[in-house]
Each structure stands twice: as structure tokens, then as C-alpha cells.
Amino acid sequence: MLTTDGNLPHWGGNGVLPPVWPGESGGSPRRSPYRVTLTEFTERFAASPERTAILGGLLCFRKKLHELGMVSGFQWLDGSFLERIELLECRPPRDLDVVTFFDMPSGENQKSLAQKAAQLFEPGFLKKTYAVDGYFCELGGPVDAYQIRRIAYWYSMWSHRRDGLWKGFVQVDLDPSQDGLAQKILTANGGVRHE
């Protein structure tokens, strides 16, 4: 029997989050991406030194975004980090997949943000520095075919394991109000701060 804890169901016997809340119909709004607070997410997944380190990287990545004024929007979180990968593949997670959907900070545009922090938009730098496989999507702009393809790609890829098994993923708010509490949770778990 799959159990739940707050707004997020636990891993099922197949080692993944269910794509739809246990016992709900396929059309239920209680489905992936599961909206949880950053503290709920941190409490749930800070279960090993490797996971705690990756969460520390996420919090440092978010801090850099907040310093740029990116405080409104949300993030989709996924990858093997959201799977019971230690049992499924006998290894710890290596990183966390993140798509940041953000409202452009006032007075900024894509070019000005890139000039202030170009590395934050380079996937290789994000993975090496923060253990984040990161991507971005600006909210509030025109919805064109390119944006639809990108969002459909993330949703379709993140809704399945490579072996085709359906799975769920998570959404957290970009607002920095819970980052301090999430950091306290990591510190209590022996987490290391990234800078």
C-alpha cells in the first residue's frame, strides 16, 4: 500500500512517485507535478549524505537566482533524485533536474540577466557547481511553438523513467521565504553549505 505524507505521496513499490495521487482517478487535480513547500521537499528527500549535499546545491542555486531578483515563479524538480535510485540502480543520485519557470525581474530582460550572471544559465556550470541539471522558462511572455515544445518535452520526459514506467515529479515555489528553514533542516542533517 502506498502511503502519503502531507502533499506528497511516498514512493511506491516500483521506487517512484505515482503520477496520480493514490486512489484518485486519472483526471484528478491531485497529480504530478505535486505542489509542495520547499521545506516539505527538503524534509522528505534529505535522507542521505549524497541527497543532503545535492539539496544544499539546490539552495545555493536558488540563492543566486534570488540575488538576481528571480523571486517569483516556481521550479519543477525531478530526475533520479526523486526516485528510490539507491534500490533501483544501487547508486546514489548524482544531481537534481530543475526547470525554473520565472517572472522576469522588474527592469531586467534576458540579456541583462545573462550579463550579470552568465554562468547561471550554463548547464555544465550548474551541474558542476550546484549538482543541478538546470533549465529556464520565462513566464508571462508570448506562448509560441518553441515554448510549448520545451514544456511538453519536460513534462513528457519527466513523467516517465527511461524504461517507460510512469512517475511523478514535484513543483516548489521560487519565493525565497522558505529557503532559510530548508537550510536549517539540511544543517541539522549534517549538510554542507555551497557558496
**Residues 136-155: pLDDT tens digits?**
999 988 788 988 998 898 88
Quick one: DSSP state of residue 107?
A: T
112 sits in which H/E element: helix 110-116
Cis amide linkage into residue 93, ω under 30° from 0: no
Residue 44 has pLDDT above 50, yes or no: yes
Look at residue 192 in the predicted model and tell me its pLDDT: 52
- pLDDT average, residue stretch 162-184: 93
Alpha-carbon span 30 to 25, nearest angstrom: 9
Distance CA 191, CA 195 (A): 13
- Of residues 193 and 106, more confidence is placed in 106
**Mean pLDDT to the nearest integer, 24-45:** 90
Residue 149 belongs to what H/E stretch? helix 145-158
The gap from C-alpha 40 to its chain's centroid, in whole angstroms, comes to 12
Tell me: pLDDT of 76 over 90.
yes
Contact 83, 41 (CB under 8 A): no
The C-alpha atoms of residue 195 and residue 53 are separated, in whole angstroms, by 12
